[in-house]
Amino acid sequence: MNLVFTEKHTENVGLSIGVTRQLYSGQSEFQLIEVFESEDFGRFLALDGFMMLTEKDEFIYHEMIVHVPMAVHPNPRNILIIGGGDGGAVRELCRYKSVEHIDLVEIDEQVVQVCKEHLPTVASDLDDSRVKIHYEDGLRYIRRFTDYYDLIIVDSTDPFGPGEGLFTKEFYGNCNKALKEDGILSNQHESPFYPLDASAVRQIHKRVITSFPLCRVYQAHIPTYPSGHWLFGFSSKKYHPVKDLDCQKWEELGLKTRYYNTKLHKASFALPTYVEELIREVE
């Protein structure tokens, strides 16, 4: 048997990964959920045929979406994650003793159940006593909060399918309202390389900048995402992602990370010229 999982990055470009077995396949109310096992990437989760995470490189995405805002905010205690039912962002957050409460809003309960069963190294902290999971649409959940969270992490899927509402102006406006006056929002910001992905970057960025006074884009290398070049957004009402970073304070926490470090934190906001131009187009 020779199973191959192929994800199309464009109509004519695909990344193929040899699969040793399929661990799970089920259609939820929202999407097709699959978990595979592979030699090169360990286990991986796909939603509607798109790779969401692999055991081998998920640390990059989760460390960068969590530790960048966490290292900037002086006292992040009350945190909201929208999406992220796999538990990767929760796991990174739970490493901070200062965190008092995490609301995880995941529309698809089945994603959480499947990850708990088949991706235990990712979902490891979903049962932490500080975590409350809400099976609800993030777009609706966020409407009822004002001046409440220190940090919101938008760990969404792509801007089509069940996550579509998380790419609207209304959503980012409500995130701003739900954050305290020194709150921070981090979100996945898509990839700048392929033209269709670059359109998504423009679309997200345009919506975020209308809702936040400060919005900067940072980058990371994520091998299993299209082009391997991935962007994140850092938006805030008060803090600057580089000027307000207290390296020493973060280093004193003693958290062991595999991708993130404070030098890289600062460096990740220096973008290639073509990415700078892409973002400036909508600013």
Q: Name the residue nearer to a second copy (CB basis): 16 or 75.
A: 16
Structure tokens at 215: 């919005």
- Sequence-distant (6+) residues with CB within 8 A of 256 are none
Binding residue count for a second copy, defined by CB under 8 A: 42
Task: Compute the radius of gyration of the chain from its Cα atoms.
Answer: 18
Specify whether the CB–CB gap between 245 and 266 falls below 8 A. yes
Per-position DSSP letters for 221-254, written without gaps between them: E-TTSGGGEEEEEEEESS--TTTT--HHHHHHTT
36 - beta bridge partners?
A: 22, 44
**125 among the known binding-site residues?**
no
156 a known binding residue? yes
162 is in an annotated binding site: yes
Compute the distance between CA of residue 279 and CA of residue 190 in angstroms, rounded to an integer. Answer: 12
| Residue 9 vs 205, nearer CB to a second copy | 9
Contacts to a second copy from residues 178-237, by CB under 8 A: 193-194, 219, 221-223, 227-229
108 included as an active-site residue: no
Does the annotation flag 224 for ligand binding? no
Cβ proximity to a second copy: between 116 and 242 the closer is 242
Stretch that binds a second copy, among 13-21, 99-107, 115-123, 158-166 (CB under 8 A): 13-21
Q: How far is 30 from 107, CA to CA, in rounded Å?
A: 8
Q: Is 57 in the site for a second copy (CB under 8 A)?
A: yes
Among 31, 38, 157, 188, interactor with a second copy by CB under 8 A: 38
- Residues that bind a second copy in the complex, under the rule CB under 8 A: 6, 10-18, 38-41, 57, 60, 193-194, 219, 221-223, 227-229, 257-261, 263-264, 266-274, 276
